[in-house]
Chains A and B, each alone.
Chain A
Amino acid sequence: MIDKINLEQLPQEDLFGPGNVGCKGCAAAIAGRQAMKVLRERTMITIPASCMATLGGNNRRTTWKIPFYHTLFECAPAVSSGIRAALEVQGIKNVNVVSWGGDAGSADIGFQALSGAAERNEDIFHVCYDNEMYMNTGGQTGSQTPKTALTSNAFLGKPTNKKNMLAIMEVHGIGYVASASIAFPADLMAKLKKAASRKGFSYIHILAPCFRGWGIPSDQTVEFARRAVYCGLWELYEVEDGIRKRTVEPQLIPVKDYIFPQKRFSKISAEEINRLQQQVDDYYGKVGK
């Protein structure tokens, strides 16, 4: 079982925030805050073009209290590789070097640099905060958008499946891969802590709903991140040195309780819901614990 983080013992001071210029109820910001609770001061972060890159600062003021660089869209892990190299030549030790991208900046346009850094096993880690759309440009479809979801450029729903980034990163042969959810902060923080403590490349994929893109009320951001896990569609697990472990057991609530209330799934068919439910049933039936 993953190390439990004692929530009450974590530092009160925010290194991302307080305050940001994002939308209210932004899960990217929630993820950032949770991460910084465990990564702490000796962390440098690079964030490619995305909501998260823009909501942390404005002109001469930034809400980040650690070195932060808003990079170009394609290359945050490459920039972080360079930062690590520069720290090493200068003998600067004990610094977490992180690249932190949205789903486009990780799985799509950012994938080349991510894959490269993973293959080189750079001593950095990458976090993908996944809102399943391109929100910073208004909510278009990307590879992480689930099948049938409506987006600002898919009025009939996305016809293809969500690309499985965790599996792709796992087969890079890196030491640590984990999924996480903003609704499970102890789990998320433990995984970040682990990634930070390890040498070599790690990848963490956080499901971070965007209430605007998903068509839910802003106060439901955390609730839907939770339902995604509880219905079984977003499995929380980690693969450490090849050993796979589920870190949160889902209650397996009906998939439709997660899907139906979201406006983006308003055109989903009954067959598709059944298919998803069947998939979940099969998967958890087979894989077990």
Chain B
Amino acid sequence: MAKELPIVPTATPGSLAEISAASSWREYRPEIQEPGKVNPKVLFFCPEGALFHEEGIIAVDLSVCKGCGICAVESDGIVMVPEYTGVLGIFGVKEGSK
């Protein structure tokens, strides 16, 4: 039996976070170390829309952030930190990263 699908091939709006599994791409993740220094313009430079502000404070939604590093380059107060800080395997490859 064919699946139940809409007649017209269409998609409904929603998050693509789990489909893109963005967080599994990351080697580095942005860490907001000095919130006061973050330039609000970075909200427009994040390709994912992973940055948001709450009561004047900018935060990262790590379920969609792919770790491109643009925000850290474009603003003070944000630094990229390695996703995995444990021991690297014999070939220097990440082992059992999250």
Give the interface of A toward B (CB within 8 A).
7-8, 12, 14, 16-27, 29-30, 33-34, 37, 57-65, 182, 185, 217-223
In the complex, chain B residues 3-29 whose Cβ is within 8 Å of any chain A Cβ: 5, 10-17, 19-20, 22, 25
Distance A37 CA – B41 CA, assembled complex (angstroms): 13
Is B16 touching A20 in the complex (CB atoms < 8 A)?
Answer: yes
Distance A57 CA – B14 CA, assembled complex (angstroms): 9
**Interface 1/0s, chain B 60-79, versus A by CB < 8 A?**
01011011111011100000
Distance A217 CA – B44 CA, assembled complex (angstroms): 19
What are 25 A-B contacts defined by CB distance under 8 Å? A12-B52, A16-B49, A18-B15, A18-B17, A18-B49, A18-B61, A19-B16, A19-B49, A21-B20, A22-B47, A25-B69, A25-B70, A30-B45, A30-B46, A30-B47, A33-B47, A33-B49, A57-B16, A58-B11, A58-B16, A62-B16, A63-B15, A63-B16, A219-B69, A223-B74
Output the residue of A8, A14, A63, A64 with the most chain B CB within 10 A: A63
Give the interface of B toward A (CB within 8 A).
5, 10-17, 19-20, 22, 25, 40-41, 43-50, 52-53, 61, 63-64, 66-70, 72-74, 80
Is B64 touching A17 in the complex (CB atoms < 8 A)?
Answer: yes
Distance A57 CA – B15 CA, assembled complex (angstroms): 9
Q: Which residues of A contact B50 (CB under 8 A)?
A: 18-19
Is A30 touching B40 in the complex (CB atoms < 8 A)?
Answer: no
Asked whether A21 and B19 contact (CB < 8 A) given A33-B44, A58-B11, A60-B12, the answer is yes
Contact of A219 (CB < 8 Å), options: B12, B14, B68: B68
Output the residue of B41, B48, B69 with the most chain A CB within 10 A: B48
Is A218 touching B70 in the complex (CB atoms < 8 A)?
Answer: yes
Is B20 touching A19 in the complex (CB atoms < 8 A)?
Answer: yes
Output the residue of A8, A20, A33 with the most chain B CB within 10 A: A20
Contact of A19 (CB < 8 Å), options: B10, B43, B48: B48
Q: Which residues of A contact B64 (CB under 8 A)?
A: 17-19
Contact of B11 (CB < 8 Å), options: A8, A20, A59: A59
Distance A37 CA – B64 CA, assembled complex (angstroms): 19
Is B11 touching A7 in the complex (CB atoms < 8 A)?
Answer: no
Specify the chain A residue showing the minimal Cβ separation from B28: A219
Q: Which residues of A contact B47 (CB under 8 A)?
A: 20, 22, 24-27, 29-30, 33, 221
Q: Which residues of A contact B13 (CB under 8 A)?
A: 62-65
Distance A260 CA – B61 CA, assembled complex (angstroms): 34
Distance A65 CA – B47 CA, assembled complex (angstroms): 16
Is A57 touching B11 in the complex (CB atoms < 8 A)?
Answer: yes
Is A19 touching B17 in the complex (CB atoms < 8 A)?
Answer: yes
Distance A196 CA – B57 CA, assembled complex (angstroms): 31
Specify the chain A residue showing the minimal Cβ separation from B19: A58
Specify the chain A residue showing the minimal Cβ separation from B69: A219
Specify the chain B residue showing the minimal Cβ separation from A60: B11
Specify the chain B residue showing the minimal Cβ separation from A26: B47
Q: Which residues of A contact B25 (CB under 8 A)?
A: 24
Specify the chain A residue showing the minimal Cβ separation from B10: A60
Nearest CB of A to B16, in Å: 4
Distance A145 CA – B6 CA, assembled complex (angstroms): 40
Output the residue of B10, B13, B63, B72 with the most chain A CB within 10 A: B13
Is B16 touching A219 in the complex (CB atoms < 8 A)?
Answer: no
Nearest CB of B to A59, in Å: 7
Distance A12 CA – B61 CA, assembled complex (angstroms): 14
Q: Which residues of B contact A8 (CB under 8 A)?
A: 40
Q: Which residues of B contact A24 (CB under 8 A)?
A: 22, 25, 47, 66-68
Is B12 touching A218 in the complex (CB atoms < 8 A)?
Answer: no
